[in-house]
Amino acid sequence: MHQPRLLLLGFGALNRQVAARLHDRFDILAVSRTPQQPEGVAHYALDLEQDALDDLPDDIDVAIYCLTPSAFTPEGYEAVYVKSLQRVLERLRSSSIRRLLFVSSTSVYGQENDEWVDEDSVTEPSGFSGATLLKAESLLADSDIATTVVRFSGIYGAGRTRLLQQALDGQVALSGPSGYTNRIHEQDAVGVLCHLTELAADKPLQSCYLASDCEPVRMHEVAQWIREQACSRVECAPEAAPAQQKRRAGSKRCANQRLRASGFHFRYPTFREGYGEMIEAYIAESGRENSKE
């Protein structure tokens, strides 16, 4: 039986896990700058900004564009999300691709007064990263290829433990005012890409999905909950004085109804499931259970 062909443009943390999950349902090819020999994946060592792309096959069914800029600078973002993307779109025009999934970010939204945002909300980003991603989204919309943008909120989980550590170290305010934080666990982010890839192989998709969990929450509430769960079991630093803490001035709330309506189910629907699991892993790995006693 013929398997559809999936092209992974970028082979970082998310796309590697996509490959692991879908290897038995797709013939998978991957592109990244560094030569690799991933099991069950045909790999091409290419710099999408400057190398010739002629070796990429034409018989592609679905592609996922998921790259990370080499530097958090306007130039770094322009190289990945404009220059490289333009070259990829030009190459894929002559292929049999059915849909290109593009990993974007909720940084394309500029709302900062706790407004709800969805796929149809106004996009007026305040920073260069969101502005460059929005430019990339426009390139996709103007292309001859069927494309779907996936706007992820903040990804956490596994090695992405910055907020967990900051809460335990007393570096996050435990009382308001604080802005809303919108997050999605890494395993759900991978799940979203797998879910949409499988749908795209058989049927049309919407042009955009907002991928965030089911409960936007104020930052201080997350920090409070983390410390309530952890600080009775491990040593935690005292809460820092308010003047020493960084507080977010503005915020938004991300709605995920369109994604859920497509049939996607969250493994970590709120921060509690995700950070609860991370707290247990932190305690187990550090061997500090009951260290307060």
Domains of the chain, by residue range, sit at 5-158+182-215+252-269
Quick one: pLDDT band at residue 293, thresholds 50, 70, 90?
A: very low
Is residue 247 pLDDT above 60, yes or no?
no
Give the pLDDT confidence score for residue 291 in this predicted structure: 47
pLDDT in tens, 187-197: 999 999 999 99
Q: Helix 13-22 and helix 186-200: axis angle, to 10°?
A: 50
Is residue 115 pLDDT above 90, yes or no?
yes
Class of the 5-158+182-215+252-269 domain? alpha beta
Q: Give the mean model confidence (pLDDT) for residues 106-110.
A: 96
- Under the phi-then-psi rule, with left for phi > 0, alpha for psi from -120 to 50, and beta for the rest, what region is 10? left
| CA atoms of 33 and 178, how far apart (whole Å) | 40
Contact (Cβ atoms closer than 8 angstroms) between residue 73 and residue 127: no
pTM recorded for the entire structure = 0.93
Across 189-221, b (16+ Cβ under 10 Å) vs e yields: bbbbbbbbbbbbbeeebeebbbbbbeebbbbbb
Q: At residue 214, what is the residue type? A: C
Quick one: pLDDT band at residue 1, thresholds 50, 70, 90?
A: low
